[in-house]
Chains A and B, each alone.
Chain A
Amino acid sequence: MQLSLIGDAWITHNQPDGAKPGHQGHKSMQLIPRLYYKIRKWTKAIQLYLVIAGPGLVVMIADNDAGGITTYASTGAKYGYHLIWFLLLLIPIAYYVQEMTVRLGAVTKRGHAEAIFDGFGAFWGWFSLIDLMIVDWLTLVTEFIGMTSALSIFGIPPWATVTGVVLLMGMIVMNGRYWTWEKIAMLFCVLNLIYIPGAFMVNASVSDILKDGFVPHFPGGFNGDLFFFLMANIGTTIAPWMLFFQQSSVVDKGLQEKDIPWGRFDTLLGSALTVLVAVFIIIVTGTVLHGIEIDSASQAAEYLMKTNHLVGTFMAIGLFNAGLLGAICISLATSWAFGEIFGWAHSLNQNIKEAPWFYTSYFLTLITSGLVVLIPGAPLVLITLFVQVIAVTLLPAALVFLILLLNDKKHMGDYCNTTWDNWIGGIIVLIIVLLSSLYGVSVMFPTLFQ
């Protein structure tokens, strides 16, 4: 018997000697082409995914920004492994919200800001755009705070960090290709996994992690402190800029309706990875720093260095990388949104001559937020807290708009939300709105939930 490949199908031919193989031989002969066909099919699927992969992975991993790393490090230090189960619940929550932006972007070919302007008129459009600009700018300041504090551990002065970051980010975006930018961003995403080897180096007890971390319970009972930490973890998992970023990114990448299944997979993988990284950070600080009050991730890195220098170094590098990845995405979210509304050329596929206002807005946001960190005596702690307060004025609005836009049959057609989607999405949005609002309020009035 001979085998020949035509397209993706194997064709069998009888041997000229007319020898009839036995039943077992016939079966094993069929197994090889079947195996080959399956491997080829999977290889093609992976290749296709690698083409489409990006927006979901980058946005979800960038969500573990400097503020996020601080929240997870503090959670681990205060509650040990006890809140790992809660973080796992955030995977479907993050996925369901971000998946809607994939569909909206791929079907309407419009960014989130433009979709809000078009759908709800100028009042809600300006509200969202200006709010996004303020939240993004303040969040960028917090990213710079994270990056400068991380590198100051290695003796690098803040001015050198800010200058280096601005130059590096300039080089990343000005290559004139979305594809290159995305692949560089994905390299930084890989560096975000640095906490995983760190967790293996602190000799955490697997049985303790399984016993304490995977059984849902509230350590020490449900009190104000715990509630604050739960809200903070939700607040870092879903941020307003993520909705704007992923939708614009899907549009800039040129994803079509047919790409939605892969876009969904990309988002799901990103959601799982972001929580995985968070879990490993909790394992590191929960093992080494349990019972120590932690105010920032850089403080956690310094404490860790005293017990295990390499793990502390990993924590500091991870914090810098998280800040950088967050800054890369957040600054783009604002520039894309302004480009959409003002009608400027706003694609990473265009160079600085073709899209001058897009890059001006990008660098203006970046440089001004970096400079704030360098001002002596700047109220950095106040800014960090203020981000959470301002974010709750935008997040509920952006989420409600998202659900309403996904129900707009005129624009969404067959990709409209189903009743089931609306139930799940509606409940998730309601929970996020409620908890993030309470978080914002508790930041303003710290003794309210004590």
Chain B
Amino acid sequence: MTRNFKQFVQKIRDINQRYSEPNIDMSPAVRWSLMALRFYLLFLVSLMVYKFITLLK
């Protein structure tokens, strides 16, 4: 069990290593799109957290 878990963690490390750098050409348009996406997701997650808190209340 422990060995399997260790192997799984190692596999994830390998994946992170393999894809550590983006392979797409990071043009200003790509950078801008990824930045906009981050803000968008942050906004959505904030809304969900707000909804969750109001539901608990």
Among B16, B24, B34: residue with most chain A CB under 10 A:
B24
Count of A interface residues, CB-CB < 8 Å: 27
In the bound complex, CA of A341 to CA of B15 (Å): 7
Contacts of B48 in A (CB 8 A): 389, 444
Q: Are A342 and B15 in contact (CB under 8 A)?
A: yes
Closest residue on chain A to residue B11 by CB atoms = A342
What is the CB-to-nearest-CB distance from A126 to chain B, in angstroms, rounded to a whole number?
8
Contacts of A119 in B (CB 8 A): 22-24
Contacts of A444 in B (CB 8 A): 47-48, 51
Contacts of A441 in B (CB 8 A): 47
- Asked if B9 CB lies within 8 Å of chain A CBs, one says no
- Asked if A437 CB lies within 8 Å of chain B CBs, one says yes
Contacts of A445 in B (CB 8 A): 51
- Asked if A354 CB lies within 8 Å of chain B CBs, one says no
Closest residue on chain A to residue B21 by CB atoms = A121
Q: Are B23 and A118 in contact (CB under 8 A)?
A: yes
- Asked if A230 CB lies within 8 Å of chain B CBs, one says no
Q: Are B15 and A122 in contact (CB under 8 A)?
A: yes
Q: Are B33 and A400 in contact (CB under 8 A)?
A: yes
Q: Are B41 and A121 in contact (CB under 8 A)?
A: no
- Asked whether A410 and B25 contact (CB < 8 A) given A121-B20, A400-B33, A400-B37, the answer is yes
- Asked if A120 CB lies within 8 Å of chain B CBs, one says yes
What is the CB-to-nearest-CB distance from B24 to chain A, in angstroms, rounded to a whole number?
4
Q: Are A404 and B33 in contact (CB under 8 A)?
A: yes
- Asked if A392 CB lies within 8 Å of chain B CBs, one says yes
Contact with A along B1-43 (1 / 0, CB 8 A): 0000000000100011001111111000010011001001100
- Asked if A117 CB lies within 8 Å of chain B CBs, one says yes
In the bound complex, CA of A392 to CA of B21 (Å): 26
In the bound complex, CA of A117 to CA of B51 (Å): 31
Contacts of A117 in B (CB 8 A): 15, 19
Q: Are A440 and B22 in contact (CB under 8 A)?
A: no
- Asked if A397 CB lies within 8 Å of chain B CBs, one says yes
- Asked if A170 CB lies within 8 Å of chain B CBs, one says no
- Asked if A405 CB lies within 8 Å of chain B CBs, one says yes
In the bound complex, CA of A445 to CA of B24 (Å): 38
What is the CB-to-nearest-CB distance from A115 to chain B, in angstroms, rounded to a whole number?
9
Closest residue on chain B to residue A118 by CB atoms = B23
- Asked whether A408 and B25 contact (CB < 8 A) given A122-B15, A445-B51, the answer is yes
Contacts of A118 in B (CB 8 A): 19, 23
What is the CB-to-nearest-CB distance from B6 to chain A, in angstroms, rounded to a whole number?
15
- Asked if A33 CB lies within 8 Å of chain B CBs, one says no
What is the CB-to-nearest-CB distance from A341 to chain B, in angstroms, rounded to a whole number?
6
Closest residue on chain A to residue B41 by CB atoms = A393
The 6 closest A-B pairs by CB, nearest first: A119-B24, A121-B22, A122-B19, A117-B19, A122-B16, A444-B51
Interface of B toward A, CB cutoff 8 Å: 11, 15-16, 19-25, 30, 33-34, 37, 40-41, 44-45, 47-48, 51
The 12 sampled A-B contact pairs (Cβ below 8 Å) are: A119-B24, A122-B19, A396-B40, A397-B37, A400-B37, A404-B24, A408-B25, A440-B44, A441-B47, A444-B48, A444-B51, A445-B51
